[in-house]
Every structure is written in C-alpha cells, then in structure tokens.
Structure 1
C-alpha cells in the first residue's frame, strides 16, 4: 500500500484534498484530566505537519476550549495551508440549556466561539458533533448553509448520528440547493465494526468521506492490555487513566483482547507494531478517507504514521476479518445470504456495477 501523509485524497464528493491520516487534537490540553501539555502537543503537531499532514480535527469543547486555543498558536503563519475541522453541539455552559444541541442559536454561538479561539476568519469543516434528537433537520441544514454563504465555514459534516437521519439530511440538502454533507465521523475499528451495517455503506452511496475516530479502540488494539486488566479489583474507575476509561466503557473484554491477540500475531509477522496494523486495517476499508490519530506524544505519532507502510497478505486480512467479524443483522445478513442470492439470481451471472 505504502502511502505518505502528502498523498492527498478528496474529502467525500468535495474537491477538498486531505491527508490519509488526520491529526486528532482532542489530546491537546489537560483540562479534562488526560491529554498533553502545550509543549508536548506542539511537538506532535509539528511532526505531523513536517511529514506533509494537512488535516487537523478538534471540537469546541475539547479540553474546555484549550485544544482550539493551542491550534491557534500552532497554525499561526501557516493557516491557509491546513484544513482545520471543528465541531459543535456538546455542552459548553452547565448553566445554559441552549449551550448544547444542534439548534441555530447554539450553532451560531459555537462557530463564533471557535473562530475566536482558533484566531481564524473561517473553518474549513464544521461537524455536527452529536445528534440531539430535538432540532429539526431543516433548521440544522439551513443554519449551516447560512454560515457557508457568509464565508465562516467552507464545508459541513456530521458525526455520531443515525444513518437514516444523515441520509435524510443529504437528500434535503440536495433538493433545496443547500450545502451538502461531505464527511461522516464515527467510531470504527477492529473491535467496533457495526458501522458496516448502515453508516459506512450510506456514506459511500451519498458521497461522504468516512473519518473513523478511535481507530485503536482507546489503545486496546495497541496491545498494551492483558487479561489481568479484566480483573475488577485491578481497576480504579476514578483514577482518570485511559485504562479506567476503557473499563468504564466496556472496551476491556475477553472478546476484544482475543481480537487484539490476532492483531499482535499479524504485527509480528509483518515486522510492524500492533497499532500500525490496526490503523492500516481501518485505512484500507472502502470509503474511509482518513482515520483520526489521537497521539499524545511524538513517539506515539511516529509509530502511528508507520501504518502508511503496512502491506497485508490476503490470508492476514482474512484472519483479522474473521477474528473481528460482527453479525450484520436484519436485513443485511439475509440479503447477503445464499437463499436470497438464489431467489434473486438463480444461476444467472451478473457483472459488478462499474
């Protein structure tokens, strides 16, 4: 496969060109109890950009706004060469019920706040961060389109939302001539493949670039956890570490560690790290534009970038797929089964589309 960070890809059906690995800046700042201080964050950012990376992802509430403020400093003098993406919808003021959600008031307030913190006149990509189950889709789309027309954002995107709502939004945007969604963020990795049921096929059909976050499943796929970490007595859920966070989320399970074992086996065969193998598997999924790297240190980022050099054999890919396979559920499992194939095609032969 052998890519480089400056092997740029179009983001969805837009003409915007981005690196095949995006730099996630959720780790920039320690206000939420974990992450990296300014000096370490700067080293991570500089390493990414020096290698040709141009796609940086943050959100308005990451590290209580420190992530955006750090990026303002780091991007100073080089802003236009970079593609900066941020998000809105998560709660910024516990006293204000309108400081969260997808509605127009919070949309405009959040964008103005991000522009100030990032010290920029425009955002390259703005994501709806989390679906709120309240705001009408027309209100969201019209507000986003207004901001595009004002020049404050260039492209709109979405994250953590049901597939049927995303597809509905894309259809409405197309019919009304509003700015279409160009990207979809979702959790996707060898431990979490349920996006293959609807979200990823939808994104490919509707022209959204897929940007997987947590491609290492909180570090579980990096191989640093063992069966000892499954023992409740060994876990302090209040210690603020990534280990306790994973335990609280239910990521540390026997099934997931078994998948991680296969990742380690394949990594040893290839002479790469488990993290590189897990990232490379995600990177080669059809429809994926750029997994998000959440490296806290330059050493972690250096290792992550090695995923661009991983080449799998067909047998290795089959082992990874088998170990991490999911039940596609209704109707997908039936549609892919032999019975449906027989009643739809019989013995007829069809060439693939395209």
Structure 2
C-alpha cells in the first residue's frame, strides 16, 4: 500500500500521503455520513496504513468533523505525525455578515474556533475555503502570514478560487515575504477536468500542489453505476434518479448525472475491466498522475470504500488505457484555450517543433518512508 510513500506538498518541504483522508463524512448532522464509531474505524484504518494527511473544515457537519478528528488524533497520540488541513470562509451565524467570508475578522474567529474544536495549538495547512468575491487578496495573505508568524498555522492553502486570484496571492507572498501558498484544493475528476485549463500551469509555475476534491464525482465514478448492467445504463439510470428525487432536494452530485458523463462512466467500466481493477481505483489512479497533483482527497462512510481507495496507487495503468480515459473525458476548450491548440501554435512557430524547457516544479518528489527500526 502506498499510504506511507510520501510526497512533497507543492514546492514546500512538507511530506504528505498521496491519498488524503477526507472527513466531511464524519458526523450525521447533514442526514448522511458516518456515526462516531464508524468514523473512528475509518480514521484508524487510514492511520494504521501509514496515512498522515487529513482534510476537514469548520463547516463540515456543523463542527462535528473537527471535534471527532481532534479526539481521534489525541487518543492515539498522533498529533506530531498527522498533517491536519482545515478551512474557513462559510458563515457560522445567520444574519451576521462578518461571521463568514474571507476577511481578517472572520479569519481570526474561524481559526480560533477550529483550533478549539481540534484540540490543538496549531494547524498544519489552513485553507481559504471559497472565494467571497469581496476581500482583497492582500488582506487574505497578510492575515495568513500573521497566523504563521504567531505559530497558529504552518502552511497556507487556497481552495475554490479563480486561478488569477491564486496567482496574485502567490506573487504577493513572493514580493512581500509572506508565507507562500503550498496547496490549491479544487474539484477535479474524470468528469470535471476544467482545472486543466489554468491550474496545472499554476501548480507547475508557482509551486502549489493540487489537491483534488470529489475525485469520484460524488460517487458517479465509484463503481455503483455500471452502464453494462441494463437498468443502470445512462438514460435509464438518470431517469430513475430523477423520478426518485421529484419534489425533494436533489441528492449531492445530481447535476453530474448527465448522458455525457455516463458515457465517461461506460468507458471507465470497460477500462477497469481491461485493467483488472475496480472502477474507483482506476479513476483515482488516472487522476493522481495528472500534472501538478500532490495528493487526492477521498472520503468514505464504509471501511470497504476506504480500503479500496487506499490501494488505488498500487498499480500502473497501461498508457493505452490512460489514453482512452483521456479521450472520452476531454473537456471543451472555450476561448481563449482553443487558441493554444497545436494548430494555432504551429502557425505561431512557423510549423517548427519548438520544445518548451522543463518546469522547475511539475510532479511532486516522492519521499520514501523511514526504514523500520531506523
């Protein structure tokens, strides 16, 4: 298993497992998820396998995720070993505009709250959760740097922001001597590849490790949908789910249940069959080898789900199978990205093949686990 084959987070020196344990499922306050006993079991499985990178947020299950995670870590004396990542931005008090957002006031409120719930005096990686479209980026980066200097956080991360915002944040950090952004968390999977338009270059050029969330597209790529099985075919399954959801709030990921995405699922099923691996493992393996990716967040409510995910990097996917997945999931290229395709570039370079220089940072460097007994 590859949980104890660590990788560097972006251009930092922080060693993290290539699979990160997502804990949004820790708690049942949202009507789904794992109870405390099952959450404890999931945590123990991950830690026992050598995993050290755990993702949560102040928002998750109304704070239960952070509280349980802190409890589990403390009970086993694992604080120094674990790399704990959490996030801030979402509002904790309806009617109070400053109880949410990216601004310094909410930053300090949220950070202190997370530290208390986690039962720790520092957070390894602290993310801005989602851009609020208001707070200046320099206010965010100065607040982050102040918290690093105060010893409350170790590394800085951004999540769900535009690439220009992240780029400006990193540039400000470089110019002003702030702690740089080590990680960029974003949605990325076989059915959501828009990150490749900007964020792969962002990671390579500016040293931010990409941390995909929802790598199985809210379960769409997990293997529970198999188009080869009659009633689970694309149109039939979609119509069944729509009928079941009529008149109620749609389930998470409902917007991903499209015919185009089921075509991707159908090819994933065929590739997984040819590879002799479960669909979820193939989807995660394909994603991990994309440019700039440092670690992938996986969540689970059942031990068997986590067990399968933790083995997703134990094999090498044949290049021909990778190419098939690339082809079926190829995203559209709106302006200006179609201008960067080979045809336009050939006109720029006079039909001469011009190789670009190697990137200073592209794939993360793998760090072997210490030898037993060393």
Please say if residues 222 and 260 of structure 1, whose CA atoms lie closer than 8 Å, have aligned partners that are also in contact. Answer: no
Could you tell me which residue of structure 2 aligns to residue 288 of structure 1? 293
In the alignment, what sits opposite 2:106?
A: 106
- From 286, 292, 312, the equivalent of 1:307 is 312
Which residue does 2:57 correspond to in 1? 59
Matched, 1:343 2:348: yes
* Aligned mates of 1:162, 1:185 — CA distance in 2: 11
Measured in 2, the distance between the counterparts of 1:16 and 1:99 equals: 31
Indicate whether 1:162 and 2:162 are aligned.
yes
Out of 230, 234, 240, the position equivalent to 2:238 is 230
Instruction: Out of 89-98 and 38-47, give the one that drifted further.
Output: 89-98
After superposition, the C-alpha distances for 1:115-134 in whole angstroms (9 at most, x for unaligned) are: 00000010000000000011
The residue number in structure 1 matching 2:363 is none
* Structure 2 equivalent of residue 18 of structure 1: 16
Bigger CA drift: 305-314 or 46-55? Answer: 305-314
Two-structure CA RMSD over aligned residues (Å): 1.5
- 1:5/1:233 Cα in 2 relative to 1: closer, same or farther (>3 Å)? closer
Distance of aligned partners of 1:94 and 1:49 in 2 relative to their CA distance in 1, 3 Å threshold: same
1:190 is the counterpart of 2:197: no
Q: 1:126 aligns to what SS in structure 2? A: strand
TM-score (norm 2): 0.90
Match of 1:322 among 304, 327, 349: 327
Distance in 2 of aligned mates of 1:304 and 1:203: 24
TM-fit CA distance, 1:173 = 1.1
Task: Tell me which residue corresponds to 1:29.
Answer: 27
1:237 offset after TM fit, Å? 5.7
State how 1:45-124 maps to structure 2 within 5 Å. Answer: 45-76=43-74, 77-124=77-124
Contact persistence 2:141–2:173 (CA under 8 A): yes
CA distance in 1 between partners of 2:162 and 2:10 (Å): 18
Distance 1:352 1:141 in 2: 32
Report what 2:361 is aligned to.
Answer: none
Q: Distance in 2 between matches of 1:124 and 1:259?
A: 36
Alpha-carbon shift at residue 238 of structure 1 (Å) = 6.7
CA distance in structure 1 between the partners assigned to 2:102 and 2:247 by the alignment? 31
Task: Look up the SS of the partner of 1:120 in the other structure.
Answer: coil
Of the two structures, which has the highest relative contact order with CA contacts closer than 8 Å and spacing of 6 or more?
2
CA distances 1:224-281 after superposition (whole Å, capped 9, x unpaired): 23233311652326767xx72222xx11011111101111111111111100011111
CA contact (8 A) 2:2 2:311 kept: no
* In structure 2, distance between residues paired with 1:65 and 1:102: 18
- Partner residue of 2:251? 244
Q: Which residue in 1 is equivalent to 2:201?
A: 201
Q: Determine helix, strand or coil for the equivalent of 1:309.
A: coil
Structure 2 equivalent of residue 260 of structure 1: 265
Q: Which moved more, 1:112-121 or 1:334-343?
A: 334-343
1:96: how far off? Answer: 1.8
Give the superposition deviation at 1:35.
Answer: 0.9
After superposing on structure 2, the runs of 4+ consecutive aligned residues of structure 1 that deviate more than 4 Å are 237-240
* Aligned residue-pair number: 347
> What TM-score do the two structures reach when normalised by structure 1?
0.94
